[in-house]
């Protein structure tokens, strides 16, 4: 294909996302529902397009972070069930009902609020209850007896799902995942024994799926990072990795100008790079406002003409300077790869994250909205 005419753009392979989804489904086996996590604009891959792809592959559930994200999918014509995972504000109740979203109760205080919302709407409202099993983030830490007493008062709202989230599923040097699963099971068993019929029970996301934490699988899993081609590297003696997923996104930026500079030239803000010899440099049309981490200044790399080459000087808001002394044929308007594969050379989000001192999720979700999305 011809290179798109944008200063900076990402190529998103919807076929790769579909393949990754099928890989997750095969890994968990029949009888386990795979919920596609498309929060944060599908990790910046484009929530509308990714959601359509997943639904076409048979996904019946999608997950977002906020009511606003759920409404965006509904207005785009997405008809699948949509779980709002990170709670809701009082003012968002009307949108939950109007757009047929499934809220998550992240505390017991949410349960009577959902009952009131359902009664006001005059129709049933299914919700999922999140248990804080040991991450100390969202979810109730209440004892089973208190949870049961709260749920007994429901008439219009209905507990449809029970969930938790693991803090350290890829860490096999810690017992935290086993402890969280055990704490969750105490609550799950108590609710079941109390007569609550729970349709969906889900603990596992990408890392728990990827490293076969089978004791935490139940009848639903939430696949996020895996859909976009990544599983976090394990710590310690991991179980066999089940997932064979591949990155779906390639990020490019165009060369805006090229300069030949003599030895001793200072490059960029603060003059943090001094040319050790005569060099040819290129200025790219992407900077930290596009998602190129400022911490990559003088330490990151890109791929130019099929070869890794260093970022020179400080990454600017809109621009990044690189060394192209090895590729004298490059001209303004040519593409350089910021993330992806070019020839035999690959630079993925996990590699970039190690240099930037962050995680691959952060690299992907930081690619800004002004970077054009091109679907292939």
- 9 forms bridges with which residues in the sheet? 252, 372
Is residue 105 helix, strand or coil? strand
39 classed as catalytic? yes
How far is the C-alpha of 368 from the C-alpha of 17, rounded, in Å? 20
Q: Which of 87, 12, 34, 10 is nearest to 243 (CA)?
A: 34
How many Cβ atoms from other residues are within 10 Å of residue 284's Cβ? Answer: 27
Task: Tell me the C-alpha to C-alpha distance, in Å, between residue 62 and each of 101, 169, 302, 313.
Answer: 10, 21, 34, 42
269 classed as catalytic? yes
The beta strand positions in the chain, using DSSP E, are 8-12, 33-37, 61-64, 81-84, 102-105, 125-130, 157-163, 200-202, 220-223, 249-261, 266-267, 273-274, 279-284, 301-304, 307-310, 320-323, 335-342, 345-347, 372-375
How far is the C-alpha of 132 from the C-alpha of 167, rounded, in Å? 11
| Catalytic member of 9, 21, 39, 200 | 39
How many Cβ atoms from other residues are within 10 Å of residue 267's Cβ? Answer: 21
Find the helix or strand (DSSP H, E) in which 26 lies: helix 14-28
Q: HEC profile for 219-281? A: CEEEECHHHHCCCCCCECCCCCCCCCCCCCEEEEEEEEEEEEECCCCEECHHHCEECCCCEEE
CB-CB contact of 232 with 207 (8 Å): yes
Is residue 9 helix, strand or coil? strand
To the nearest 10 degrees (0 to 180), the angle between helices 47-56 and 67-75 is 70
How far is the C-alpha of 167 from the C-alpha of 252, rounded, in Å? 33
Active-site residue list = 39, 269
């Amino acid at each position: 294909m011809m290179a798109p005419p944008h200063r900076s753009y990402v190529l998103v392979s919807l076929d790769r996302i579909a393949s990754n989804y099928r890989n997750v489904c095969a890994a968990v086996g029949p009888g386990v529902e795979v919920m596609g996590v498309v929060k944060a604009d599908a990790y910046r891959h484009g929530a509308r397009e990714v959601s359509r792809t997943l639904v076409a592959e048979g996904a019946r559930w999608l997950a977002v972070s906020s009511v606003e994200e759920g409404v965006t999918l509904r207005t785009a014509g997405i008809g699948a069930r949509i779980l709002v995972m990170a709670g809701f504000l009082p003012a968002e109740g009307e949108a939950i009902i109007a757009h047929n979203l499934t809220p998550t109760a992240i505390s017991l205080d949410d349960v009577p609020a959902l009952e009131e919302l359902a009664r006001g709407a005059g129709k049933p409202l299914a919700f999922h209850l999140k248990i804080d099993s040991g991450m100390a983030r969202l979810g109730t830490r209440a004892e089973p007896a208190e949870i049961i007493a709260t749920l007994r008062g429901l008439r219009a709202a209905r507990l449809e799902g029970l969930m938790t989230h693991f803090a350290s599923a890829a860490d096999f040097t810690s017992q935290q995942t086993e402890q969280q699963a055990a704490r969750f099971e105490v609550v799950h068993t108590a609710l079941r024994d109390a007569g609550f019929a729970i349709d969906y029970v889900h603990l596992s996301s990408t890392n728990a799926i990827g490293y076969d934490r089978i004791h935490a699988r139940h009848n639903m899993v939430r696949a996020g990072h895996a859909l976009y081609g990544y599983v976090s590297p394990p710590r310690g003696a991991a179980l066999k990795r089940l997932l064979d997923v591949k990155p779906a996104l390639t990020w490019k930026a165009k060369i805006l100008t090229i300069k030949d500079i003599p030895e001793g030239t200072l490059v960029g803000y603060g003059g943090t790079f001094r040319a050790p010899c005569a060099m040819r440099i290129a200025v790219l049309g992407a900077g930290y406002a596009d998602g190129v981490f400022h911490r990559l200044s003088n330490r990151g790399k890109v791929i130019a003409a099929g070869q890794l080459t260093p970022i020179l000087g400080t990454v600017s808001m809109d621009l990044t300077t690189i060394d192209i002394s090895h590729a004298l044929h490059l001209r303004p308007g040519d593409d350089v790869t910021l993330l992806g594969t070019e020839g035999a050379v690959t630079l993925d989000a996990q590699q970039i994250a190690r240099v930037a001192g962050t995680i691959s999720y952060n690299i992907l979700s930081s690619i800004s909205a002004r970077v054009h999305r091109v679907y292939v």
